[in-house]
Amino acid sequence: MTSRTFRRTLPAALAAATAALALAAGPASAAKPLVHQTPKVPLVVDGQHLAPKQIHRYDGKPLYTRMSADGKTLVGTTKLSKFKAFLSTKGLTMPAAGKPAKARTSAAGHWSRICTDNFLRGNCYTINSGLGVANMSAISGCNWFNCWYFDNSVSSMDTYGRGALLYDLSDFNPYWGTHYIAAGQQQDLAVFGFNDRLSSVFTYW
């Protein structure tokens, strides 16, 4: 191989190697560092009580979280199997990653609602029970007067009649972690460290 040919083929070889490494590493969005937001409440992770800032002990690892019954503590685990076990105690399962939820008529008018500003202000969108949004970009758009964006832009949420499952990644992918919000809740997502992180959401049936 001549030096000229080598110079031409080297960049292509490097690009192919980089692409192969990216595929092996997981979702493209997961290539960015995972840094958790500091919640506004204390937390318990895998049974260990921590101050809010100590959540950064888990940077680089996914967390699967929920609020305690009194709403004063963020409860989480690093193990997806334990989180699924918690959901099963509620009679719930996780939607399969990458697969859309089955569309059904909303049960008794139950729903969850996401909003781009605190205190349920800004642009809002309602997800009826039994439905999910696999990618927030699908519900973003513009009209003659303004534009609205939901991907990584949701700051508050409420639920009526059913709980909802929030994902850091699109396509109901738990690779970076999830948060379960129970029925009958009105929450600013910064409370549990999920402000401007939502990329997909599922409302339980």
What's the whole-model pTM score?
A: 0.81
Tell which residue, 67, 148, 77, 85, has the closest CA to residue 115.
Answer: 148
What pLDDT band is residue 33 in, cutting at 50, 70 and 90? confident
Q: Which helix (H) or strand (E) holds 127?
A: strand 121-128
8 occurs within a structural domain = no
What would the two tokens of residue 59 be? 């940077």
129 occurs within a structural domain = yes
pLDDT, greater one: 102 or 204? 204
Q: Are 90 and 163 in contact (CB under 8 A)?
A: yes
pLDDT of residue 107: 61
What pLDDT band is residue 94 in, cutting at 50, 70 and 90? very high
Quote the CA–CA distance of 159 and 156 in Å, as a whole number.
Answer: 11
Residue at 19: amino acid letter:
A
Longest dimension (CA), the chain: 73
pLDDT of residue 144: 87
pLDDT tens digit sequence for 35-78? 999 999 999 999 999 999 999 999 999 999 999 999 999 999 99
Q: Are 54 and 63 in contact (CB under 8 A)?
A: no
Beta bridge partners of 113: 126, 158
Judge whether residue 4 has pLDDT over 50.
no
pLDDT tens digit sequence for 162-183? 999 999 999 999 999 999 999 9
- CATH number for the domain spanning 147: value is 2.60.20.10
Q: Is 21 exposed, middle or buried (0-12, 13-18, 19+ CB in 10 A)?
A: exposed
4 occurs within a structural domain = no
pLDDT of residue 38: 98
Q: How many domains does the structure of the chain reveal?
A: 1
**Is the Cα dihedral 78, 84, 88, 91 positive or negative?**
positive
Find the domain containing 106 and state its range.
Answer: 28-203
